[in-house]
Structures are given as C-alpha cells and as structure tokens.
Structure 1
Amino acid sequence: MTLKAGDELKQRNEEIGRRWFLEMWSKPDLALADDLIDKDYNPSWVSIDAVGPDQIKHEIEYFRSVFPDLKYEIVDLIGSEEKVWIRYKGKATHRGNAWGFEPTLKEFEYEGATILYISPEGKVVDRWGAFCFYDMFTELGLVPPFWELSKHFGKGGEN
C-alpha cells in the first residue's frame, strides 16, 4: 500500500513530535536539536537569548538544571501536514534553584500540551505550549492551592 504525500507528512511530523519529547527532552539528546530545529526557530513566548537549535538547547539545559531527572510520556499525538499536536505527562524531581525557589527535592507530575509547527523540509519552525506553572508550584509545596487563595478575598475580590 502506497501512502499519499499528505499521509507521509503526517507520519513524518508525528515522528518529529515523538522524538521531540522522548529523545530530545527525556534522554536528553541535545544534538538532536540540530536535526529537528530550523535555524530561525525563536518562539516569541520563550525568553532565551538564542535562536534556532541553540534556543531549545539552552531551554533544555535550564530545565535539566532544575529537574535533572525530567521524563516525558506522550498521552496523545496527532499529526497533520504542517504541525503536530502532543498532549504529554512530565515527571521530575525539583533539585535546582529556579524562579526564586530553593530545591524542594520533591517529585511531581504535570500535564501539558504542545503544538509543533513544521516546515515542508521537516524542521520545527515554531511551537506553542501550555502547562500550568502554578499547579507545579502547588504540587511542590511552594505556593498554596489556588482554591485556598479565594479564602482571603470576599465577594467581588474585596478583602
């Protein structure tokens, strides 16, 4: 059975999504960034003074300095001809200083979603991602649960 061009692109993009999380982030295999990432990759919502493969390498190095045992599991993955959607679970231990917090040495789990935008040449050119830092900080015992904050305010947000 021969695949249509669109199906081949979907499969290629799904493989890129798998390698993004299971190899590049989970192992981590930073050299893989040179194969997967476009030279102009620079997501506007990530504040790192680097572009292309170096941007994601710096991001992974930073997260690894805080969570050296970070591992991902893919929960759901759907590819299209231009992007791949990935829902994932992450698991790690907080062992490094970050965001003004000392290491807690606590293990935590979190969930998130990422969309990788992929060029016709098979390089990641942009990404969108979402996971809740507040939930992570709560699980690590660094901030109170969100619902606890509401006890400090009256109706309409008044003190």
Structure 2
Amino acid sequence: MKMSLPTIPATSAHGLSPARRDAIERFYGALASRDFDMVDDALTHDWEDIPLTPGQAHGPAGIKPIFAMLVSAFPDLTVEIVDALADDDRAAVRMQCAGTHDGDLFGVAATGRSVHFALHEFHAFEGDRIRRTWHMEDLFGLFAQIGAWPAHAPEAA
C-alpha cells in the first residue's frame, strides 16, 4: 500500500521557511510513510518531546517506538496536516489522524472500530530542525470511539 506523505496546506504555510516546513513535513511523514528514520532529518539530536509517553526515551530515538506502536494499533493509519501557523522560531500544527483499531493500544485489544482523532502540536526550532515539541492528542475522544479504556496508566519513565 502506497502511503501519501502529509504536506502543509499552501494556504497555511505563512511564516515558515522552506527548510522548517520540510522539517515538519518529514516529522509527520515518518509516521505516515512508516519510515521512522525520517525523524532523524527533522529533529535535533537532543529533541525534547513534552510530555513524554510513559516509557518513552528522550531524543529522536524515543519517538520511533511510539510511531511503531501507533502503526501496529492502526495499520491503516492516515495522517493529515490540517493547518500550520508559524512565527519567529515556533510553529503550531493541527492534524487529523484516522484508522482502524486492529492492534493493541496501551493494553486495549483490537476492536476493529474506525476512529479519527485530532492532534495539536507546538514546535520550537533550532536552526532548521525541530528542537522541542509540546503536544496534545485527543485520547479521550480516541478511546471513546474504540469503546474501551486502558486498565491503568503505565508507569512513567
């Protein structure tokens, strides 16, 4: 199955240099294409992900297992960049993801249900790479669509 890479809509790319736009598209493209090593060209070596997912390691290597978990839980996952706004060394990205829950997600077994959920992320740049990301996913809406909830929160790393 050929995956299309997410791109920032031309109408919302204001304030982003081409190199920073490319970094954002490569970051989300790593998830969409299942080529998780693409993050190495988008993130600084000491990239901070705030907050970390329980058990997540720091830096670019830490996001790769998270992306793999999402793709395992939603093998047909699609990623769409809906909007991006930038000013100075920061960018805000609004995304929409969709897929079928066909694998384990935080201990919740596959349900076969179709889901869609929003992500809102704020990135700070160092040069042309993403140095720090603050993120919020609509996990409440996601698990409500799945119809099941994790038994308990995993231990934080």
Q: Which has the larger radius of gyration?
A: 1
Q: Is 1:88 the counterpart of 2:95 in the alignment?
A: yes
* Residue identity matched to 1:95: D
- What 5-or-longer segments of structure 2 have no aligned partner? 1-13, 150-157
What residue is the counterpart of 1:137 in the other structure? 143
What is the identity, as a one-letter code, of the residue corresponding to 1:117?
A
The residue aligned with 1:38 is 44
Name the structure where strand makes up a greater proportion of residues: 2
SS in 2 for 1:64: helix
Alignment of 1:103-122 (within 5 A): 103-120=110-127, 122=128
The residue matched to 1:102 in structure 2 has which SS? Answer: coil
CA distance in 2, matches of 1:58, 1:134: 22
1:24 to 7, 26, 30: 30
The TM-score with structure 1 as length reference comes to 0.75
Higher relative contact order (CA 8 A, sep 6+): 2
Match of 2:104 in 1: 97
Q: Which runs of 5+ in 1 are unaligned?
A: 1-6, 144-159
Can you list the C-alpha shifts for 1:17-46, whole angstroms capped at 9, x where unaligned?
22222x111112212111111111232411
Change (3 A) 1:102 1:79: same
Question: Runs in 1 of length 4+ with deviation above 6 angstroms?
Answer: none
Question: Match of 1:126?
Answer: 132
CA 1:111–1:84: 2 relative to 1, 3 Å: same
Which is helix-richer, 1 or 2?
1
Closer/same/farther in 2, CA of residues 100 and 58 from structure 1, 3 Å limit:
closer
One-letter identity of the residue aligned with 2:51: W
SS in structure 1 opposite 2:27? Answer: helix
Alpha-carbon distance in 2 for matches of 1:29, 1:93: 20
The residue type paired with residue 134 of structure 1 is F
The residue number in structure 1 matching 2:7 is none
Contact 1:27 1:71 in 2 (8 A): no
Shift of 1:83: 1.8
Given that 2:98 and 2:117 are in contact with CA atoms closer than 8 Å, whether structure 1 keeps it comes out as yes
Identity of aligned residues (%): 21
RMSD: 2.0
How many positions carry a matched residue from both structures?
135
